[in-house]
């Protein structure tokens, strides 16, 4: 299988680089820079990409690479810090730039370079996205300069004989014009990849692997109703049918009718055993009087853990355990020397007193957009496959203050009106995420010539490419007006609707 390896030097765009390579229909993995030598002893990828990073290459404390990697004859593309690292390691000069470059920068290209020559209609200069304090002042021997800016004399360089290429800018981000085409040129023209990695082939291969590993055994999977666990369930169901049991914990903090929708979907469309645990009252009781958001998250997580594993322990603690781990989960939860960004629910340690024959993670090498493609091909309803992100604690962190059954139902109804109106207007496709929040504030209103003192609901909607930053969505006033009128008229207990116009940063997407 064709494969590109991304060596991670701490860059914030490491996953985006890997996604861009996969968009070329070439399989790609991210490997920590200090594991490169060990990895290359066992396999020879078609190409290697060095990521950016926050360090200066001339600092002894910064990450470096073993020099012999440049003599293997494997094509290498260095990006930002990776560009400087290549120059520094091979005898070039890297120093603090007289003028730092950040953001959109006019860049002049030598279009005879293999990175640029096959890009249709590419001009001699275009905008690239820069983010660097240091720069290469002198290229290593044997390299020629293939791009420059007003303040950066070596914005790209190459040594085609050694198959070494480097760019100071970030071609993986949308802000760099023709950047994605540059990555495609590296993958196809320099590395010689044909681009034959397809989702259909992934499904066939994965189903065969599950059958081979499980044999005539059984598998149990924790089904949340989210994209990842749903697609994992569908894949395993295709492989082993009724020998898969999906356990679904309905804790009462999901969106309106969502539990029933999940049950109907997986009992009617797929060949499996479906077990639903209705434990809403247990969760409401545990959360009674709790207002701190982190304490709510902790209680919801612990209670879910207890309910789910007690059910497994009683009935299904044999065979194999499956989970919907995807590639970003494995990267973000921290591996080896990698920093722990956040611990994901499906990366938490399982109870020691439950011994499975093995763990099945059919999506562990896929990104979210790839998981959605698999879900579409498997026939999962689009409402599940393309659902927006939903917090693990559910509506528990969209209700500010203490949680009660009455508040949950109030928020479910308001949120359902919002979703229905966005769907009717076709505006949901314009938004990355939108939802209702119950801030726990009562306001005075007038309805039917009488005074009211009821709950306020806030609407949150954002647009974003990666959820690292987000802008508040500019929903047309007439649509917002209809949403407000419907919520106030259709949901008893609400008399005011407000719209959140805070971007991230300084805010976050969720309120808690």
Distance, CA of 223 to CA of 344 (rounded, Å): 15
Q: What is the DSSP letter of 274?
A: E
Return the HEC string of 431-471.
CCEEEEEECCCEEEEEECCEEEEEEEEEEEEEECCCCCCEE
Number of other residues whose CB lies within 10 A of the CB of residue 310: 12
Answer for the pair 24, 53: CB distance below 8 angstroms, yes or no: no
Distance, CA of 207 to CA of 271 (rounded, Å): 14
Q: Let me know if 170 is a catalytic residue.
A: yes
Compute the radius of gyration of the chain from its Cα atoms: 26
Find the catalytic residue in 2, 101, 172, 421: 172
Return the HEC string of 95-155.
EEEEEEEEEEEEEEECCCCCCCCCCCCCCCEEEEEEEEEEEEEECCCCCEEEEECCCCCCC
Distance, CA of 308 to CA of 184 (rounded, Å): 45
Find the catalytic residue in 132, 148, 170, 344: 170
In the block, residue with structure tokens 């898969």: 244
In the block, residue with structure tokens 């924790």: 222
Q: How many residues does the chain have?
A: 512
What's the CA angle centered on 360, arms 263 and 250, to 5 degrees? Answer: 25
**Residue 79 has which token pair?**
């990006």
Q: Phi and psi at residue 16, in whole multiples of 5°?
A: -65, -40
Beta bridge partners of 48: 5, 76
Q: Let me know if 246 is a catalytic residue.
A: no
Distance, CA of 159 to CA of 143 (rounded, Å): 5
Q: Phi and psi at residue 94, in whole multiples of 5°?
A: -120, 130
Which of 302, 475, 305, 500 is CA-nearest to residue 400?
Answer: 500
Distance, CA of 152 to CA of 434 (rounded, Å): 41
**Residue 177 has which token pair?**
């014009």
**Residue 387 has which token pair?**
């659902």
Q: Let me know if 80 is a catalytic residue.
A: yes
**Residue 489 has which token pair?**
């008229």
Distance, CA of 180 to CA of 186 (rounded, Å): 10
Contacts of 71 (CB under 8 A, 6+ apart): 162
Sign of torsion, CA 289 290 291 296? negative
Roughly what angle, to the nearest 10 degrees, separates helices 405-425 and 477-490? 140
Answer for the pair 388, 226: CB distance below 8 angstroms, yes or no: no
Find the catalytic residue in 24, 28, 80, 152: 80
- Residues designated catalytic: 80, 170, 172
């Amino acid at each position: 299988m064709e494969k590109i390896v991304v060596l991670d030097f701490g860059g914030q765009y490491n996953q985006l680089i890997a996604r861009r390579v996969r968009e070329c229909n070439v399989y790609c993995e991210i490997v920590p820079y200090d594991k490169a030598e060990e990895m290359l002893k066992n396999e020879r990828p078609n190409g290697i990409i060095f990521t950016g990073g926050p360090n200066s290459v001339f600092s002894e404390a910064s990450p470096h690479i073993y020099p012999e990697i440049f003599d293997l004859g494997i094509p290498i593309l260095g990006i930002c810090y990776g560009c400087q690292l290549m120059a520094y390691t091979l005898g070039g000069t890297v120093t603090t730039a007289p003028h730092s470059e950040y953001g959109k920068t006019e860049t002049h290209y030598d279009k005879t370079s293999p990175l640029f020559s096959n890009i249709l209609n590419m001009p001699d200069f275009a905008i690239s996205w820069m983010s660097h304090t240091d720069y290469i002042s002198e290229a290593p021997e044997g390299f020629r300069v293939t791009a420059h800016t007003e303040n950066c004399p070596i914005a790209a360089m190459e040594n085609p004989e050694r198959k070494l290429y480097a760019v100071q800018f970030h071609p993986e981000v949308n802000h760099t014009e023709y950047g994605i085409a540059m990555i495609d040129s590296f993958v196809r023209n320099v590395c010689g990849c044909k681009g034959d990695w397809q989702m259909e082939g992934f499904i066939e291969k994965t189903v065969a692997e599950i059958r081979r590993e499980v044999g005539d055994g059984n598998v149990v999977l924790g089904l949340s109703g989210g994209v990842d666990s749903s697609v994992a369930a569908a894949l395993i169901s295709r492989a082993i049918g009724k020998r898969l049991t999906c356990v679904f914990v309905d804790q009462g903090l999901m969106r309106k009718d969502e539990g029933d929708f999940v049950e109907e979907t997986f009992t009617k469309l797929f060949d499996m055993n479906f077990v639903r645990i209705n434990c809403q009252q247990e969760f409401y009781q545990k959360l009674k009087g709790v207002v701190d958001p982190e304490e709510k998250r902790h209680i919801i997580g612990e209670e879910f853990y207890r309910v789910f594993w007690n059910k497994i322990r009683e009935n299904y603690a044999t065979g194999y355990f499956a989970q919907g781990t995807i590639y970003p989960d494995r990267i973000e939860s921290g591996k080896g020397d990698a920093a722990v960004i956040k611990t994901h629910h499906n990366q938490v340690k399982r109870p020691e007193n439950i011994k499975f024959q093995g763990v099945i993670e059919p999506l562990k090498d896929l990104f979210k957009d790839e998981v959605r493609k698999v879900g579409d091909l498997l026939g999962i309803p689009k409402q599940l496959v393309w659902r927006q992100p939903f917090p693990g604690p559910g509506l528990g962190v969209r209700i500010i203050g203490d949680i009660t059954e009455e508040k949950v139902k109030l928020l479910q109804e308001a949120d359902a009106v919002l979703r229905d109106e966005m769907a009717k207007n076709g505006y949901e496709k314009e938004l990355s995420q939108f939802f209702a929040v119950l801030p726990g504030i009562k306001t005075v209103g007038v309805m039917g010539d009488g005074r009211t003192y009821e709950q306020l609901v806030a609407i949150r909607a954002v647009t974003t490419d990666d959820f690292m930053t987000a802008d508040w969505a500019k929903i047309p006033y007439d649509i917002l007006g209809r949403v407000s009128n419907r919520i106030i008229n259709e949901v008893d207990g609400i008399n005011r609707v407000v719209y959140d116009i805070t971007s991230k940063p300084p805010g976050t997407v969720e309120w808690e």
